[in-house]
Amino acid sequence: MKNFLRFLFATTIVFCFVKSVNAEEVIAQNIDSNELFEQVTLTVPDEENVNAESKPEEAPVQAAEVSENMTLREKLKSVYKLEVDRYDVPEYLYREPLTYHFKPESKMDNIHVWGAFNAYNDMAFYDDGVMQDKFNFNALNIGVDGFLKDNNGDFRIMMGFPVHSSRNYTQGLFADVFVATNKIPHHRIQIGHFRPQIGMEGGSSSYTIGFLGRSQIARNFGMARRLGGRIKGDYKYIDYDFGLYSSDTFFQDWFPGAEFVGWVNFKPLANVEEKKYGKLKIGGGIDTGKRDDNFFVTGAYIGYDYKKFSAEFEWANANGYNGYYGHSRKHATGFYTTLGYMITKKLQLLICYDQFTPNKEFSENKKREMTVGLNYFIKGQALRLILNYAFCQDDVAEDSHRIMLGAQILI
């Protein structure tokens, strides 16, 4: 089974690359490790799924004209000419063929059925001479998004299919299940089961982050979904996200305690010309509650985008936390900084330095990851090839070098 998955993965990569080359020619002719939270890993847990913390957003695309009179075969062919201009939101290869549009008199606008795949081959070389070769799934998901007319509301039902997990299968099966309304100007109210905004990267989609793995503060403090409600605001100079949740994760307990998550971003350059000055975002927030014991996490973020260049810095400190790997009483801290540059319209270079201290009571237990990444956006985030090299340095364990080759497909 493992060999078959590797063969399927390799075949997918080759197919994607060939399709990309052919598509560019057409355009030219026509004139785009376990559950221990101390463990250093670059993998995204297998239960991670498409972002659904906010209203599912469509990336601007340039594609062949699609009409209701077209046959299914004609709609599928239109995917060949699909060109995506943005990479910060998910897009789907077969959005139109897999979308049902309701009649004008209906309150429903449309329902979109989609699937998602993100996997990679991971080769790790340790300083003691040991080599490990693994094939990992980041996510294997199917979902249904429904939208009311006039953007009044929407819902999502998303299921994940974890290939391996220490939890039972049903605890990871239901990922995002929520309803939301957008009727209040500049606001969105959401109720259900979803991922809170614990840090910028910790609350982001697995399908829009630049690397095959999240930062260490995101992996440890955030990512896990919860049952609760939130209100999000989005204005010219500020956006915010405040939510109240059960501190349970993965449906292990009904209500072990309450948890509050709040995050605020300021956009000081919102009133100036973006092409001249770029985009600046400065944010911060907290995650606090009780699960066995009280926990409190605070964080800060700075992000800047200017033309082809991007830069991010995020820091977090925890006096106990309630993340993906469960509740911990330890005091931990960490930060990461990432620089990015779009070499071409489709090829992106990323460099990241990531440091984490899992227990501040011990001075010599830092974990550092230096990562270089390449993203090749064949069809935006809908079809992406990913190459990462990472040097992992650990004060209390063997250092390692890792090479990861991955692919992402959103249909």
Whether the predicted pLDDT of 18 surpasses 70: no
Binned at pLDDT 50, 70 and 90, residue 46 comes out as very low
Between CA 255 and CA 260, with CA 259 as vertex, the angle to 5 degrees is 150
Give the right CATH number for 2-410 from 3.40.1190.20, 3.40.50.300, 2.40.160.10, 1.10.10.10: 2.40.160.10
The percentage of the chain sitting over the pLDDT mark of 70, rounded to a whole number, equals 81
In this predicted structure, what is the pLDDT of residue 369? 97
| Closest by CA position to 132, among listed 401, 409, 334, 374 | 401
Spatial contact of 323 and 222, defined as CB atoms under 8 Å apart: yes
What pLDDT, on a 0 to 100 scale, did the predictor assign at position 31?
31
Q: Does 94 score more than 50 pLDDT?
A: yes
pLDDT band at 136 (very low <50, low <70, confident <90, very high): confident
Mean pLDDT of the chain: 84
Quote the CA–CA distance of 141 and 204 in Å, as a whole number.
17
Average the pLDDT over 297-302 and give the result.
98
Buried b (16+ CB within 10 A) or exposed e, 46-58: bbbbbbbbbbbee
The pLDDT score that the predictor gives to residue 396 is 86
**What per-residue confidence (pLDDT) applies to 352?**
98
Buried b vs exposed e over 169-180: b needs ≥16 C-beta within 10 Å? Answer: eeebeebbbbeb
Q: What integer is the mean pLDDT of 35-54?
A: 37
User: Which of 385, 373, 375 minimizes the C-alpha distance to 409?
Assistant: 385
Question: Which whole-number Å values give the CA distances from 406 to 46, 85, 351, 385, in the listed order?
Answer: 14, 22, 17, 6
Q: Is the pLDDT of residue 12 over 60?
A: no
Going by C-beta distance under 8 Å and a sequence separation of 6 or more, which residues neighbour residue 206?
44, 48, 49, 50, 51, 118, 138, 139
As a whole-number percent, the residues of the chain with pLDDT over 90 amount to: 62
pLDDT at position 29: 36
Whether 67 has a pLDDT exceeding 70, the answer reads no
The confidence score (pLDDT) of residue 180 equals 98
How far is residue 159's CA from residue 243's CA, in Å, rounded to a whole number? 22
**pLDDT for residue 10:** 54
Per domain, the residue ranges of the chain are 2-410
Least confident of 170-174, 265-269, 291-295: 170-174
Q: Is the pLDDT of residue 320 over 50?
A: yes
pLDDT value at 173 more than 50: yes
Q: 231-279, pLDDT tens digit by residue?
A: 999 999 999 999 999 999 988 888 999 999 999 999 999 999 888 899 9
> CA-CA distance, 241 to 245, in Å (whole number)?
13
DSSP state of 167: S
- Residue 323 burial (CB count, 10 A): 25
